[in-house]
């Protein structure tokens, strides 16, 4: 578990389109699931692809003022 801040680019509706973590940009291929957490936060589980084509999966927490990467599987 990482629980580190990330930057996110979003689509219309607020779903993530790309994230940047530790200077590495990842394209969100697919939103696999979304959970509403207590308060205004949402948890996204997404399929991602790195610039070199490697696929992975990430769990992202989106709050009104911050995005955080909870987990990442390469």
Q: What is the pLDDT of residue 3?
A: 95
Q: What is the pLDDT of residue 38?
A: 87
Residue 41 is classified by DSSP as: -
Q: How far apart are CA 48 and CA 41, in angstroms?
A: 21
pTM exceeds cut of 0.85: yes
Q: pLDDT digits over 21-74, tens only?
A: 999 999 999 999 999 988 999 999 999 999 999 999 999 999 999 999 999 999
Q: What is the pLDDT of residue 59?
A: 98
């Amino acid at each position: 578990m990482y629980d580190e801040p990330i930057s996110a680019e979003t689509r219309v509706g607020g779903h993530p389109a790309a994230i940047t973590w530790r200077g590495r940009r990842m394209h969100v291929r697919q939103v696999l699931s979304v959970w509403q957490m207590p308060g205004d936060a949402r948890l996204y589980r997404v399929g991602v692809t790195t610039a070199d084509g490697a696929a992975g999966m990430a769990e992202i927490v989106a709050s009104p003022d911050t995005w955080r990467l909870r987990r990442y599987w390469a």
